[in-house]
Amino acid sequence: MLRRLSNIFRVPDLRNKVLFTIAIICLYQLGANLPIPGVSWSQVTLLQSKAGASGVLGFLNLFSGGALTRLAVFGLGVMPYITSSIVIQLLTTVIPKLAEWRDQGPEGQKRITQTTRYLTIGLALLQSTGLVYAFHGHDQALLGFNIDLIPKFNLWLGLFMVIIMTAGTGFVMWLAELITQRGIGQGMSLLIFANVVAGLPSGGRAVWSEGGPVKFFIILVISIALLFFIVFMDQGQRRIPVTFARRVVGRKEMGGNSTYIPLKVNQSGVIPIIFASSVLYIPVLLSNIVPWASFTNFVNSSLRPTSFFYIGSDFLLILAFTFFYVYIAFEPH
């Protein structure tokens, strides 16, 4: 294992790709830890201590590496791009033009990618507006409590924050594409992995300080066991045997080889969970925009992470999106 790792730096092309990927991830982490001017750091510390108790906020904050609760330059992270990609994939089944682009090969894929980028910027603009308003102390559904991260808020400061976060999302999208083109692996997946890993030290310290070493090691063992189980399920597949017919050419018998069609147990992966959280996030944002008191009260009371409505809605959305995504990703005909 160590010999294989050392061989990475002996191959110039592979070494350059690894170093380029590490440099991009470091640049991304710099933007994820750089708060926008006007944010109160003492309030950020208070919010981060309570963010895990909020279902929607805690999940979105996990995928941003804590940048969301810091109102950082890259606060939205990769979530707008992931949501846009899922939406475009779902729309290819109902919009003929998108289906036509999908079947056109590389040229059509370029058009789909460009459409995904435009949708990403639109979602980032909407989400950043809602977050700035929510973190100014107007949202209990997303946070579960009132808090003001922007004590000196005014219209121009709010507009500046929205522009910075939207531009940051576009920059993150570009960084991910650079990793895909010139680095190692899929850019978005690596940035998500970096975000999750970045939140592990603070989470570990919180568990150690609250529960002591015994609770810490119990959770550590359970987490490692869950990791192995998740990898096992993700790699699991049903192999359908396929045998080719034999042919006789002259005096030789050809064909008759056997192979198999691998069917993954988990065709959809984590995409339905991400999309379900994004959908539950929409009414939270709308409650900050529309002046309907009844709708706002409904969101504040029903979309709390401990409410049965939130848990049931999350379960049903994950189930529905899993069905639709598997239908799109795996076409038996």
pLDDT digits (tens, 9 = 90+) for 216-261: 888 889 988 988 898 888 888 888 887 766 666 666 666 556 777 7
Task: Collect all residues with Cβ–Cβ distance below 8 Å to 106 and sequence separation of at least 6.
Answer: none
CB 163 within 8 A of CB 30: no
Amino acid 143: pLDDT: 54
- Average pLDDT rounded to a whole number, residues 307-315: 83
Q: How far is CA 263 from CA 182, 258, 327, in A?
A: 31, 16, 13
Amino acid 12: pLDDT: 77
**Residue 122 pLDDT > 80, yes or no?**
yes
Q: 105 — alpha (psi -120 to 50), left (phi > 0) or beta?
A: left
Q: What angle do CA 218, 222, 226 make, to 5 degrees?
A: 170
User: What residues are paired with 247 via a beta bridge?
Assistant: 254
Task: Collect all residues with Cβ–Cβ distance below 8 Å to 248 and sequence separation of at least 6.
Answer: 254
Take residue 103 and report the two structure tokens written for it.
Answer: 């079947």
Amino acid 225: pLDDT: 92
Q: Which residues of 253-285 are buried (b: 16+ CB within 10 A; e: fewer)?
A: eeeeeeeeeeebeeebeebbbbbbbbebbebbb
Q: What angle do CA 58, 319, 130 make, to 5 degrees?
A: 35
Amino acid 105: pLDDT: 78
Show the domains of the chain with their CATH numbers.
2-198 (1.10.3370.10)
Amino acid 137: pLDDT: 59
Take residue 26 and report the two structure tokens written for it.
Answer: 């470091």
CB 76 within 8 A of CB 40: no
pTM of the entire predicted model: 0.73
Amino acid 13: pLDDT: 80
DSSP H/E element including 240: strand 237-243
Distance CA(41)–CA(215), nearest Å, equals: 30
**List of E strands, 110-156:** none
Amino acid 121: pLDDT: 92
Distance CA(308)–CA(306), nearest Å, equals: 7
Take residue 188 and report the two structure tokens written for it.
Answer: 């978005």
Amino acid 53: pLDDT: 47
- Average pLDDT rounded to a whole number, residues 54-65: 56
19 compared with 201, residue with greater pLDDT: 19
What backbone torsions phi and psi does residue 247 show, to the nearest 5 degrees?
-130, 145
DSSP letter string over 42-109? HHHHHHHHHGGG-HHHHHHHHHTTTTTTTTBTTTTTTHHHHHHHHHHHHHTTT-HHHHHHHTTTHHHH
- 165-213 pLDDT, tens per residue? 899 899 988 998 898 888 887 888 788 888 777 777 777 777 787 778 8
**Residue 14 pLDDT > 70, yes or no?**
yes
